[in-house]
Structure 1
Amino acid sequence: MKRPFNFLAGMLALATLTLLASGTVYAHPGLEGVGGGFLAGLTHPLLGLDHIVAMVAVGLWSLSQVPKFRSMIPLLAMLGMLLGALSAWAGLVIPGMEFGVAMSVLLMGLLLITLARMPTSLGSLIVVLFLFCHGQAHGSEMPSGIAPWAYLAGFTVATLGIIYLARRAGSLMAARDKHLLKGIGVAIAALGASFVIG
């Protein structure tokens, strides 16, 4: 039983270091000092608490879905992020996108609390829509003078990494007690509500 606990301890340490490195818990801190398109893209999701929490929620919630849909979720996340970023680069301005990002955190937390098993069509739409909001935010906040496709690759890798790590940690927790996942869902929903209100 030591290996799961070592893995979870490592995950908590990584999350703590990431938050400390950001120097802030604001949703979208600046990227000053981060050089290169790929590195900027890789770093951006890790410096936004709303992005980290949303991806963790997606990864944990995916565990309660049927195997076929569960295997699709990372690809759907990539699709939503890509569409959102491309829409921002095309000059599409969607009013209230930050509110959409905040609501995605709140709603993903609620889905995690219930461990709701969605039909594949509805669940796919939810994942793409939520990740579209995050992709729009990433795309609109891309620093000037960097390669867009390298930036896109960076934040895609970071997003998938968070989802898969959350899924791995969640499977270990679920093996012990599914109420642990629901408890995390409560915390995520509460954080999402604070984003919406604040």
Structure 2
Amino acid sequence: MISASTKRTALAAILFLAAAMPADAHVGVGTTSSFTAGFMHPLSGLDHMTVMIAVGLWAAMKGSKAVWAWPLAFVGVMVAGAALGMLQVPVPFVEPGILASVVVLGLLVALAVDLPVSAGVAIIGLFALFHGHAHGTEVPENAGGLEYMAGFAVATALLHGIGTAAALGLGLRFRALARLAGAACATVGAGLAFGVL
């Protein structure tokens, strides 16, 4: 028999996924010339939202230095990746790397994988490079492009904060819900990879 709280959690996850918009991670999508456009971009696609929140969830589950180091690593490497993209420096496997980030980070949360902080920084940094490069290649070479990336970085940090704050605010009761959210993230990534979402 499934408990009432498990049913409510599953229903909330289904409603969240049903309400979310499709992913727009691909280069050249949307306006890229203002802070507002950059801020809204991570909120416009499932791949962005799930990965950014998963980083915060995983960081809170790990605790200690990971709470600040993992989100900071993502934002910092994402900005560096965006600079590479703006300079047209090629990075291989960007789109597959973005899709892999959704699945892998979801699984790391779902399985409550406990890695050293440095290993988490390396994994998160690799995925952040792909996310940043994809968006750096689409911004114009002017002040508007820099404003766009600033907006993207702020929104990313806020999504990390949502995941972290939710986990820390609910404490141990949150662990099962966080793992369910991680499984949903991995499922979204698989759906995006196979063209279902």
Q: Which TM class, normalised by the smaller chain length?
A: 0.7 to 0.9
C-alpha contact 1:113 1:181 (8 A) present in aligned 2:
yes
Match of 1:125 among 118, 122, 125: 122
- Residue 51 of structure 1 aligns with which residue? 48
- Residue 150 of structure 2 aligns with which residue? 153
Question: 1:37 and 1:130 mapped to 2: Cα distance?
Answer: 24
Distance 1:146 1:44, change over 3 A: farther
- Residue 166 of structure 2 aligns with which residue? 169
- Residue 4 of structure 1 aligns with which residue? none
Pair 1:96-2:93 in alignment: yes
Question: 2:124 and 2:24 mapped to 1: Cα distance?
Answer: 20
Per-residue CA deviations over 1:20-74 (Å, capped at 9, x if unaligned) read xxxx413338425x8x521111111111210111001111111122412322122
Q: Secondary structure at the match of 1:115?
A: coil
- Residue 65 of structure 1 aligns with which residue? 62
Question: 1:155 and 1:64 mapped to 2: Cα distance?
Answer: 25
Pair 1:180-2:177 in alignment: yes
- Residue 105 of structure 1 aligns with which residue? 102
Deviation at 1:145, TM superposition (A): 6.3
| 1:68-79 alignment, distance < 5 Å | 68-79=65-76
| 1:133-152 alignment, distance < 5 Å | 133-142=130-139, 147-152=144-149
Deviation at 1:82, TM superposition (A): 0.9
Deviation at 1:177, TM superposition (A): 4.3
Write the letter of the residue equivalent to 1:150: E
Question: 2:88 and 2:160 mapped to 1: Cα distance?
Answer: 28
- Residue 31 of structure 1 aligns with which residue? 30
Deviation at 1:77, TM superposition (A): 1.3
C-alpha contact 1:77 1:127 (8 A) present in aligned 2:
yes
Identical positions, percent: 33
Write the letter of the residue equivalent to 2:162: L
Structure 1: tracts of 5 or more residues without a match: 1-11
Structure 2: tracts of 5 or more residues without a match: 1-12
Question: 1:99 and 1:186 mapped to 2: Cα distance?
Answer: 19
TM-score (norm 1): 0.80
